[in-house]
């Protein structure tokens, strides 16, 4: 059975974007991006909320000729993965291997986990909160950026309590810290 993995880059105070919706402070350097690529390469399907999809679809059309190797590699990972966008407003997608679902169905995600031969990534805190509440998230992978933004969109929902076990940690030269947790049964 595949794992459902929630990954995000956050500020030290737990936000994926600040109050103005900016997240430029979270851009990974080459060392961190190379590490992210190694993890994301193992994902076969990405589950994305509409807003996260609109940010990530940029990888589909990025001119790669002058980009560093880590950027080119992530674009390749993105294009080769299946993507499911959860949206009630999006009429069409502009990326390959992408489908639209109108609502989050925990049963359908459970079935996808049972049938998938590669792990599944989920991105975007609104969508992930549905999966967390349904008990579907197996792992949390957090890249904590040395920045305090003081408010904005939180990585984790407020109204959930569950136990997790630290599986891995890594510190990067930039001060970013990677933490990988497994949900305790």
As a whole number of Å, the CA-based R_g of the chain is 16
| 62 has a pLDDT exceeding 90 | no
| 182 has a pLDDT exceeding 80 | yes
Q: How confident is the model at residue 185 (pLDDT cuts 50, 70, 90)?
A: confident
CATH code, domain with 16: 3.40.430.10
Q: Where on the phi/psi map is residue 160: left (φ > 0), alpha (ψ -120 to 50), or beta?
A: beta
In sign, the C-alpha dihedral spanning 75, 80, 81, 85 is positive
Res 59: pLDDT: 84
Residues 6-26: pLDDT tens digits? 999 999 999 999 999 999 999
- Is the CB of residue 98 less than 8 Å from the CB of residue 59? no
Percent of the chain with pLDDT over 70: 100
> What is the reported pTM?
0.95
Which residue segment(s) compose the domain that 47 sits in? 4-183
Tally of structural domains, the chain = 1
Res 44: pLDDT: 98
Residues 109-154: pLDDT tens digits? 999 999 999 999 999 999 999 999 999 999 999 999 999 999 999 9
Average pLDDT over residues 44-63: 89
43 DSSP β-pair partners:
119
């Amino acid at each position: 059975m595949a794992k459902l993995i929630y990954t995000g880059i956050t500020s030290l105070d737990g936000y994926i974007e600040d109050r103005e919706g900016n997240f430029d402070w979270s851009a990974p350097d080459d060392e961190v991006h190379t590490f992210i690529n190694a993890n994301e390469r193992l994902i076969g399907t990405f589950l994305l909320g509409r807003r996260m999809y609109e940010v990530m679809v940029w990888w589909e059309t990025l001119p790669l000729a002058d980009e560093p190797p880590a950027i080119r590699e992530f674009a390749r990972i993105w294009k080769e993965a299946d993507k499911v966008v959860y949206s009630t407003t999006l009429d069409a997608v502009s990326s390959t291997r992408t489908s639209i679902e109108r609502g989050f169905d925990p049963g359908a995600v459970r079935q996808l986990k049972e049938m998938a031969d590669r792990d599944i990534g989920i991105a975007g805190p609104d969508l992930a909160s549905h999966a967390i509440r349904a008990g579907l998230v197996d792992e949390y992978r957090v890249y904590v950026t040395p920045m305090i933004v003081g408010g904005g969109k939180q990585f984790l929902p407020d109204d959930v309590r569950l136990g997790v076990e630290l599986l891995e940690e890594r510190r990067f030269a930039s001060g970013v810290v990677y933490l990988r947790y497994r949900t305790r049964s």
